């Protein structure tokens, strides 16, 4: 009974967040017009690139390449700004107040993050997909892949959560985390294959990117969408599981350190 | 002299902004270098791209580095030093223009010079440093660089004030201006050659990404007076358009009911 | 047994020192120097179940540090505390199920959702049995008269409505203690009275222990029987509200309506003229220096008097005087 209650608790947080954000899904769709421009520019860039090289770059056709970016952008655009939320809570003392309630601070934010993410995904994916459909047309994704891909979206977002929340928690030590976020976020972009598939990097950089968790946050999930296979699912999920364990352990450590710091330094 | 007395307030604002930066220097340095590295990573992306595809539609890595050093500098100057250009819709909707209207200085100028944004000052420094390290420079080129960057700054400002002034006429459209500036910047950071003819026309008119990016790169690569003339005309044009729309909009301005204390 | 028991509870913080001057400050980015600040200096008190206690003091006195220790958010530097038999900082989550809290300046309602949604979420957070939750909820809705705006997004509620929802929300899980921090801040007098009434009922009818901090003397007077005043990390007074009145309220405000215009020629030791305008006169009388009867008879001899009212000095002024005293005089503690 205990664990069912706990699961219900965090599910309720997530569901409440969905309801709270859903009211604004229309506005969000509108502001995602910018996303349409991004995809459009990508289409132009890669169309020009393909015109110089031939039908396939690293095993990807032009439509596959574009849908790869639809996937990475959908992941990025569905990610709530949890780093600044946590930064604010650290700074104005709301973090301490949340401890008055019987839930885990990070657990609460994971649930709220996913809830928010669902709404943002609903507002981002159709926009990006529409531009891709109108410019390069559809690609073949088997129907049975769709639930798997949605599940992978969740595990992928959890990795993003750990990364962003860690940056937000830096507010315990830093006056301002927006600078750190800018750098670390872009680092994640490059190493994750967000702007360009990792396979197109020079060898030395591919090796570095291959040993970091970021490829599981953009590149690998996106590749799974454009070239679905069960072998890829297995490799992706086991890689993500490993990094989820590592990153959440780190995140929890940083959180404990921060709370201890409040304890000795005051709010 | 009357002029120095009249414009003395600009220096006052800039000193105050600088003092604020020094007060929070840790945060200032973080933002400054954060943006610096952020830009660096984009350049890294392009160098990776061009390593794999050395030339795309006549563009090489050299051209793209030049483009980034120009666009970051002019964008950084426009929004680092004149941050309120980006905040114009917000100021109008919240009724904060009242503050500027009550003071004896030209409203638009006063508003523009009153607020720095440290994050974008990082861009403003990134551009010239990129140029210094990655381009072969002559004195003439350096002067040209300064000139095209200043033109670009005026175009960015003119564009931001123009789309920002739309809020005078459309009411609740705060997000629109920000999005349009974002679109301009996005288009400006890609080689214009990749776009189709129709889009390219758009990029030299409505969304002047070609004016702030491609044209200056061409001027620095193969100088010709015609291009430079076009750029200067564009800069004057957008600046005037912004000033005009703002002036017209100001007539329609009704003060918001939210009176906020200036911080 | 006491529901809250605090013994020699102490908390000190290490505060980073910000050196003056550019280089020194830049260096301090990397290596900070610290200075110890004793936020709470060995305080002791006990609260009985069902009590309504005002825990007050000026800003920075150590109130919120104490509350944070009592709710398990902070570890004390030394000393002991138990709340409902639990050690808060060791059993925070367990304790959290049994306490409620309302912070006047922070909302626990979801801004874009109706209060009902927040209630339902809280039921899950506190792991309530659903059917008894529904029953409790309808009780509170009726008692707090929330019916008419239960489905309105919280951002559209008035401050008074919102505060009613906040308090109802914190009572859903039937806590045995409720911590209230400035529950009436920013409210108009009518809304204040309503909120106080609701808190009083929770205390009197359900036996919820009330732990209140407020700068509003009206909150204290109308809700609490007992008051603990804390200043500079020490308890400077722990007594009943009535006793505080008796000990400190030695001033009376005397308002008079005279038959003639006041001539300004009235002086007396222990009497201060607060206001004089036309026929109206307002005096502050220190009853330790001069009896109220002496003052009145002197006045009656000199002026025709049409009306008199005598009032206690406002509680606010009394509390301010105690804060200013900083533990000197009768209620001095320690050194």
Q: What is the pLDDT of residues B211-222, one digit of tens each?
A: 999 999 999 988
Which chains contact A through at least 3 pairs of Cβ atoms less than 8 Å apart? B, C
Instruction: Please report residues of C whose CB lies closer than 8 A to that of A24.
Output: 112
Which chains contact C through at least 3 pairs of Cβ atoms less than 8 Å apart? A, B
Residue A175 contacts B, CB cutoff 8 Å? yes
The span from the CA of C60 to the CA of C39, in Å, is 8
Task: Determine, for residues B57 and A33 on separate chains, whether the beta-carbon distance falls below 8 Å.
Answer: no
Kindly tell me if the per-residue pLDDT of B10 is higher than 90.
Answer: no
pLDDT for the residue numbered B137: 81
- Edge-to-edge strand ranges of the sheet holding C4-17: C33-47, C4-17, C78-83
Could you say which of A53, A179, A186 has the minimum Cβ distance to residue B31?
A179
Ramachandran region of residue C174, left (φ > 0), alpha (ψ -120 to 50) or beta? left
Kindly tell me if the per-residue pLDDT of C169 is higher than 90.
Answer: yes
The span from the CA of C252 to the CA of B83, in Å, is 58
Tokens 């008190």 belong to which residue?
Answer: C45
The span from the CA of B167 to the CA of B177, in Å, is 8
Instruction: Please report residues of B whose CB lies closer than 8 A to that of C22.
Output: 22
Instruction: Please report residues of A whose CB lies closer than 8 A to that of C117.
Output: 16, 19-20
Task: Determine, for residues A101 and C110 on separate chains, whether the beta-carbon distance falls below 8 Å.
Answer: no
Percent of chain C with pLDDT over 90: 45
pLDDT interval class at C80 (50, 70, 90): very high
Give the mean pLDDT of chain B. 87
Residues 201-230 of A with CB under 8 A from B: 201-202, 205
Residue of C52, C41, C50, C88 whose CA lies nearest to C69: C88
Percent of chain C with pLDDT over 70: 91
Instruction: Suggest the residue from B21, B26, B30, B33 to mutate for an interface test with chain C (most C CBs closer than 10 A).
Output: B26
pLDDT for the residue numbered B157: 97
pLDDT for the residue numbered A159: 97
The span from the CA of B43 to the CA of B68, in Å, is 7
pLDDT for the residue numbered C245: 74
Task: Determine, for residues A49 and B53 on separate chains, whether the beta-carbon distance falls below 8 Å.
Answer: yes
Instruction: Please report residues of A whose CB lies closer than 8 A to that of C110.
Output: 16, 20
**pLDDT for A242-260, tens place per residue?**
999 999 999 999 999 998 8
**pLDDT for B101-113, tens place per residue?**
888 888 899 999 9
**pLDDT for C233-250, tens place per residue?**
899 889 998 888 777 767
Which two three-digit tokens encode residue B2? Answer: 């009357």
The span from the CA of A218 to the CA of C135, in Å, is 48
Kindly tell me if the per-residue pLDDT of B229 is higher than 50.
Answer: yes
Could you say which of A41, A176, A205 has the minimum Cβ distance to residue B190?
A41
**For B45, which residue in chain A has the nearest alpha carbon?**
A190
The region of weakest confidence among A124-128, B26-30, B49-53, C80-84 is B26-30
Mind spelling out the 3-state secondary structure of B151-201? HHHHHHHHHHHHHHHHHHHHCCCHHHHHHHHHHHHHHHCCCHHHCCHHHHH
Side-chain half-sphere exposure of C111, counting CA atoms within 13 A? 5
Residue of B118, B119, B134, B116 whose CA lies nearest to B68: B134
**pLDDT for B234-259, tens place per residue?**
999 999 999 999 999 888 875 543 33
pLDDT interval class at A29 (50, 70, 90): confident
Residue C36, strand partner residues: C14
Kindly tell me if the per-residue pLDDT of C178 is higher than 90.
Answer: yes
pLDDT for the residue numbered C217: 83
pLDDT for the residue numbered B168: 86
Instruction: Please report residues of B whose CB lies closer than 8 A to that of A201.
Output: 48, 52
pLDDT interval class at C263 (50, 70, 90): confident
Residue of B221, B162, B167 whose CA lies nearest to B191: B221
Residue C103, strand partner residues: C106, C181
Ramachandran region of residue A58, left (φ > 0), alpha (ψ -120 to 50) or beta? left
Which two three-digit tokens encode residue C97? Answer: 């199920």
pLDDT for the residue numbered B262: 30
**For A39, which residue in chain B has the nearest alpha carbon?**
B186
At C264, give phi and psi (nearest 5°): 80, 5
pLDDT for the residue numbered C30: 58
For B99, the enclosing helix (H) or strand (E) is helix B97-101
Could you say which of C14, C96, C124 has the minimum Cβ distance to residue A265?
C14
Cα–chain center distance at A264: 34
ipTM computed for the complex = 0.87
Task: Determine, for residues A12 and C110 on separate chains, whether the beta-carbon distance falls below 8 Å.
Answer: no
Residue of C178, C175, C165 whose CA lies nearest to C109: C165
Averaged over C73-89, what is the pLDDT?
Answer: 92
Most confident range, picked from A60-74, A177-191, B16-30: A60-74
Instruction: Please report residues of B whose CB lies closer than 8 A to that of C29.
Output: 26
**pLDDT for C101-110, tens place per residue?**
998 888 899 9
pLDDT for the residue numbered C335: 27
The span from the CA of C242 to the CA of C80, in Å, is 29
Instruction: Suggest the residue from A91, A175, A182, A204 to mutate for an interface test with chain B (most B CBs closer than 10 A).
Output: A182
Q: What is the DSSP string of B56-82?
A: BTTB-HHHHHHHHHHHHHHHHHHHHHS
pLDDT for the residue numbered C18: 65
The span from the CA of B25 to the CA of C278, in Å, is 60
Instruction: Suggest the residue from B23, B28, B33, B52 to mutate for an interface test with chain A (most A CBs closer than 10 A).
Output: B52
pLDDT for the residue numbered C327: 42
Tokens 């009818």 belong to which residue?
Answer: C205
Residue C54, strand partner residues: C212, C227
Task: Determine, for residues A12 and C124 on separate chains, whether the beta-carbon distance falls below 8 Å.
Answer: yes
**pLDDT for B138-176, tens place per residue?**
888 999 999 999 999 999 999 999 999 988 887 766 678
Which two three-digit tokens encode residue C215? Answer: 């700068």
Kindly tell me if the per-residue pLDDT of C153 is higher than 60.
Answer: yes
Q: Which one has a higher pLDDT value, C318 or A148? A: A148
Residue B25 contacts A, CB cutoff 8 Å? no
**For A94, which residue in chain C has the nearest alpha carbon?**
C106
Residue A30 contacts B, CB cutoff 8 Å? yes
The span from the CA of C102 to the CA of C125, in Å, is 16
Contact A83, A164 (CB under 8 A): yes
pLDDT for the residue numbered C286: 85
Cα–chain center distance at A184: 14
pLDDT for the residue numbered C326: 43
pLDDT for the residue numbered B261: 31
**pLDDT for A218-227, tens place per residue?**
999 999 999 9
pLDDT for the residue numbered C24: 59
Quote helix, strand, coil % in chain B, to nearest 5: 80, 0, 20
Which two three-digit tokens encode residue B260? Answer: 């906020």
Enter the pTM of the model.
0.85
Averaged over B55-65, what is the pLDDT?
Answer: 90
Kindly tell me if the per-residue pLDDT of A1 is higher than 60.
Answer: no
pLDDT for the residue numbered B232: 95
Task: Determine, for residues B51 and A38 on separate chains, whether the beta-carbon distance falls below 8 Å.
Answer: no
Kindly tell me if the per-residue pLDDT of B24 is higher than 70.
Answer: yes
Could you say which of B45, B179, B194 has the minimum Cβ distance to residue A44?
B194
∠ CA B134-B135-B136, rounded to 5°: 135
Task: Determine, for residues B194 and A48 on separate chains, whether the beta-carbon distance falls below 8 Å.
Answer: yes
């Amino acid at each position: 009974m205990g664990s069912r209650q706990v699961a219900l608790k965090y599910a309720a947080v997530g569901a409440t967040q969905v309801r709270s954000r859903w009211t604004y899904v229309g506005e969000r769709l509108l502001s995602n017009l910018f996303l349409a421009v991004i995809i459009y520019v990508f289409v132009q860039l890669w169309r020009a690139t393909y015109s110089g090289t031939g039908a396939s770059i690293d095993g990807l056709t032009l439509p596959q390449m574009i849908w790869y970016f639809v996937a990475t952008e959908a992941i990025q655009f569905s990610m709530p700004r949890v780093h600044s939320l946590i930064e604010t809570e650290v700074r104005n003392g709301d973090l301490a107040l949340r401890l008055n309630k019987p839930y885990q601070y990070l657990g609460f934010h994971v649930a709220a993050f996913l809830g928010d993410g669902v709404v943002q995904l609903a507002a981002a994916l159709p926009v990006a997909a529409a531009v891709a459909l109108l410019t390069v047309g559809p690609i073949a994704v088997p129907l049975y892949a769709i639930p798997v891909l949605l599940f992978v979206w969740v595990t992928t977002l959890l990795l993003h959560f750990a990364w962003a929340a860690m940056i937000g928690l830096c507010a315990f030590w830093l006056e301002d985390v927006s600078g750190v976020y800018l750098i670390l976020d872009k680092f994640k972009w490059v190493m994750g294959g967000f702007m360009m598939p990792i396979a197109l990097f020079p060898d030395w950089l591919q090796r570095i990117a291959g040993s970091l968790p970021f490829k599981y946050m953009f590149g690998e999930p996106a590749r799974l969408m454009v070239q679905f296979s069960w072998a890829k699912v297995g490799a992706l999920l086991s890689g993500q599981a490993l990094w989820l364990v590592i990153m959440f352990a780190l995140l929890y450590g940083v959180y404990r350190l921060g709370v201890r710091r409040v304890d000795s330094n005051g709010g | 002299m009357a002029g120095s007395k009249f414009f003395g307030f600009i220096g006052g604002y800039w000193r105050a902004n600088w003092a604020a930066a020094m007060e929070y220097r840790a945060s200032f340095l973080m933002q400054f270098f954060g943006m610096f590295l952020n830009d660096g990573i984009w350049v890294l992306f392009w160098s990776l791209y061009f390593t794999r595809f050395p030339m795309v539609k006549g563009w090489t890595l050299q051209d793209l580095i030049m483009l980034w050093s120009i666009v970051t500098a002019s964008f950084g100057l426009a929004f680092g030093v004149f941050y309120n250009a980006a905040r114009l819709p917000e100021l109008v909707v919240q009724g904060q223009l009242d503050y500027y209207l009550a003071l004896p200085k030209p409203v638009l100028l006063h508003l523009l010079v009153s607020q720095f944004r440290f994050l974008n000052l990082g861009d403003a420094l990134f551009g010239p440093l990129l140029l210094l390290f990655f381009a072969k420079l002559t004195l003439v080129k350096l002067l040209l660089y300064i000139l095209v960057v200043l033109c670009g700054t005026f175009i960015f400002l003119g564009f931001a004030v123009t789309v920002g002034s739309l809020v005078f006429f459309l009411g609740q459209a705060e997000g629109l201006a920000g999005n349009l500036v974002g679109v301009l910047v996005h288009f400006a950071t890609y080689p214009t050659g990749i776009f189709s003819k129709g889009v390219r026309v758009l990029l030299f008119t409505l969304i002047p990404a070609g004016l702030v990016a491609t044209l200056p790169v061409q001027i620095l690569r193969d100088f010709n007076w015609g291009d430079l003339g076009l750029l200067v005309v564009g800069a004057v044009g957008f600046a005037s358009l912004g000033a005009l729309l703002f002036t017209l909009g100001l007539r329609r301005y009704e003060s918001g009911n939210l009176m906020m204390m200036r911080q | 047994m006491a529901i809250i028991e605090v013994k020699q509870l102490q908390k000190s913080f290490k505060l980073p020192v910000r050196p003056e001057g550019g280089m020194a400050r830049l260096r301090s980015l990397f290596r900070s120097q610290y200075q110890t600040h004793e936020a709470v200096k060995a305080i002791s008190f006990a609260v009985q179940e069902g009590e309504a206690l005002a825990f007050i003091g000026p800003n920075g006195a150590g109130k919120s540090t104490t509350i944070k220790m009592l709710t398990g958010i902070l570890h004390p530097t030394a000393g002991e505390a138990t709340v409902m038999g639990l050690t808060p900082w060791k059993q925070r989550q367990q304790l959290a199920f049994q306490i409620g809290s309302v912070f006047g300046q922070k909302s626990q309602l979801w801004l874009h959702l109706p209060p009902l949604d927040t209630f339902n979420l809280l039921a899950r957070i506190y792991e309530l049995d659903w059917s008894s939750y529904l029953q409790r909820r309808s009780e509170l809705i009726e008692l707090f008269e929330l019916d008419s705006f239960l489905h309105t997004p919280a951002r559209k509620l008035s401050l008074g409505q919102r505060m009613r929802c906040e308090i109802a929300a914190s009572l859903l899980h039937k806590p045995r203690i409720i911590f209230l921090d400035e529950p009436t801040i920013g409210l108009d007098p009518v809304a204040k009275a309503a909120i106080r009434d609701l808190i009083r009922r929770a205390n009197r009818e359900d036996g919820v222990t009330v732990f209140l901090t407020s700068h509003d003397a009206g909150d204290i007077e109308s809700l609490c029987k007992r008051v603990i005043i804390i200043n500079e990390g020490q308890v400077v007074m722990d007594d009943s509200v009535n006793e505080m009145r008796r000990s400190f309220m030695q001033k009376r405000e005397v308002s008079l309506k005279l038959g003639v215009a006041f001539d300004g020629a009235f002086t007396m030791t222990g009497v201060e003229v607060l206001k004089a305008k036309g026929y109206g006169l307002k005096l502050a009388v220190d009853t330790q220096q001069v009896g109220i009867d002496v003052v009145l008879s002197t006045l009656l001899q000199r002026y025709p008097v049409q009306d008199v009212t005598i009032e206690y000095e406002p509680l606010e002024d009394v509390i301010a005087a105690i804060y200013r005293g900083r533990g000197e005089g009768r209620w001095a503690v320690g050194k």
